[in-house]
Structure 1
Amino acid sequence: MNGEELRDALCSEMASITPPPPLSTGATLGAARRAHFRRRAVWASLGSVAVVLAVTGFAAVGDPGGRVYQPAGGLPAPSERSGDTKEAWPTGPDGRPQEDRTARAGTKHDQGVHLLNEVVSVVPAGYTKPDDPANQPAEQRTLRTHQAQFEAKVNGVDLWSYMSSVAVAQGTGTGRVIVEVHDAGNPLPTEPCALAQNFWGMQGECQVETVGAAQVGVVVRPGSDERLDQWSAYRHPDGVVVFVAQGTRLDESRPALKQLPFSVPQLAALAVDERFHLK
């Protein structure tokens, strides 16, 4: 095929192709506006999440992957129960209903602070207990957190849970210790391992440890959920439930501990410890 024949063949091929429709300024602008609207909607949704966390306080606990987890709860709150949305949150010390689950003042809030202090007190020798910088905004706290959270009203009685998380450091590594306490009357399981495996919905290899006359469930190895490494669970005779958890890693920004602060027997004993038996 010579050059002239090649040009004729190309022209014939191009003629057989249906040309695209001419550009429409209106259509182009419309598509651009729709894409811009979608981007704004996504950012607005993310902003709403940030506002919720800021309003409710930094009460949730994040894992090394950046996900955020609320303390375990057995029953939905008033505003979450179908057909019961008119029921108010518990009354705060100012005589008005709370804005959400979290108590920010009063005796319930003070119980959360008390629990935090008790958790700090049990960190074993050889580990430091780094605190947050002074005047740091509450929603940015990462080293120590505490929360008193309303769970539900059962038979006219308000049920609460309390959670405290404390960073523990040794050498260049930083992990954490978490204690969560649930009021008597909670619907959590009674059997030790069933109770332990209910913590934050996590599963794992559980064994029962004997502490005096108490039977304590201890998850010694987590399943696929790696938020924490080990945790214990105990239901006191009066119904109060205590979870004690430990992890070698606080978050991805810090190196992990080389070993956990507590042995399995020590972790079980802490779940029975009267310092965490909030009443």
Structure 2
Amino acid sequence: MNGEELRETLRSEMAATSPPPPLSATDMLSTARRAHARRRTMWACAGTAAVVLAVAGVATAVPPGAGGHSPAGPAPQAAPQPSSSKSAQPWPTGPDGRPQEDRTARAGAKHDQGKRLLDEIISVVPAGYTAPEDPTHRMPLRTYQAQFEDKVNGVDVWSYSSSAALAQGERMGRLLVEVHTAGNQLPAEPCALARQFWGMGGECQVVTVASAQVGVVFRPGGDDRFDQWAAYRHPDGVVVFAAQGANLGDGRPSLTTLPFTMQQLAALAVNERFHLQ
């Protein structure tokens, strides 16, 4: 087939084909509007889906109790409150069957032990001294107290403290004995124990009484409420402090010498009459 025949064939094919309908402006506008509407619908659906996903994400991120919806699950537990066994436990029961009002026993067996301790102090007043009693004086010349200290491993620990003025004529000093029952957390080493008394510290030496080792502070540190004191821990854990001072601290004339030597003071700490429970 030559070029002329090819052109003739193409003309014949084009003449046989139906021409397309004429373009209408109305039809073109309708088509464009339909396409625009479809695009708006697609964007709206996409936006809704994004909002749903965003809300779901926020709901997941908002913690319970922050004002948003939270997924199902166990409620958060409250933070534990600090507790103090010492403040939470009741005071020991008194003879009336009710807890004490505070640490001090004002009746019952423990109170009686404090009174007994004072009686034992009066019984060891050395020759040449008296133990006067003057209830009208602004500072009592005789005192005693039984005090609950703590509960250690289920055991109540008590302390008994009693003191008496020791006089030579108008001059007065003081003797005090303090007992801590078994279970106390005081040191075991004699001088560490002695320095623990009222936190006064001081220079200490170990004095031997029979087979007992007693810590004796013979020179106090900066605290001079007493001049000397001895400390002994019995094998069962009971601790005894025996302290002496040359003055009462109330303006009265002081003793010229202490009532007991260091050895005698150490013997008082070991004396079974002060070994109370």
TM-score of the two chains, using structure 2 as the length reference: 0.68
For residues 104 and 180 of structure 2, what CA distance do their matches in structure 1 show? 14
Give the corresponding residue for 1:60: none
Instruction: Give CA deviations for 1:224-277 in whole Å, capped at 9, x if unaligned.
Output: 111100000000001000000000001232111101000000000000000000
Give the corresponding residue for 2:244: 246
Residue 219 of structure 2 is aligned to residue 221 of structure 1: yes
**1:186-265 correspondence to structure 2 within 5 Å:** 186-265=184-263
Instruction: Give CA deviations for 1:94-145 in whole Å, capped at 9, x if unaligned.
Output: 0000000000000000000000000011010100110123xx59xx551000
Structure 1 residues 230, 191: CA separation in 2 closer, same or farther (over 3 Å shift)?
same
Find runs of 4+ consecutive structure 1 residues off by over 3 angstroms: 81-84
**1:11-50 correspondence to structure 2 within 5 Å:** none
Match of 1:108 among 107, 110, 113: 110
Match of 1:183 among 175, 181, 184: 181
Contact 2:232 2:270 in 1 (8 A): yes
Q: CA deviation at 1:214?
A: 0.3
Unaligned runs of at least 5 residues, structure 1: 1-80
Instruction: Give CA deviations for 1:176-233 in whole Å, capped at 9, x if unaligned.
Output: 0000000011000000000000000011110000000000000001111111000000
For residues 119 and 83 of structure 1, what CA distance do their matches in structure 2 show? 35
- Greater RCO, CA 8 A, separation 6+: 1
Give the corresponding residue for 1:53: none
- Aligned pairs, how many? 195
Match of 1:166 among 142, 164, 167: 164
Q: CA deviation at 1:84?
A: 4.8
For residues 241 and 149 of structure 1, what CA distance do their matches in structure 2 show? 15
Match of 1:126 among 110, 128, 151: 128
For residues 243 and 83 of structure 1, what CA distance do their matches in structure 2 show? 28
For residues 131 and 100 of structure 1, what CA distance do their matches in structure 2 show? 27
SS of the residue aligned with 2:88? coil
Q: Report the aligned-residue RMSD.
A: 1.5
For residues 248 and 232 of structure 2, what CA distance do their matches in structure 1 show? 24
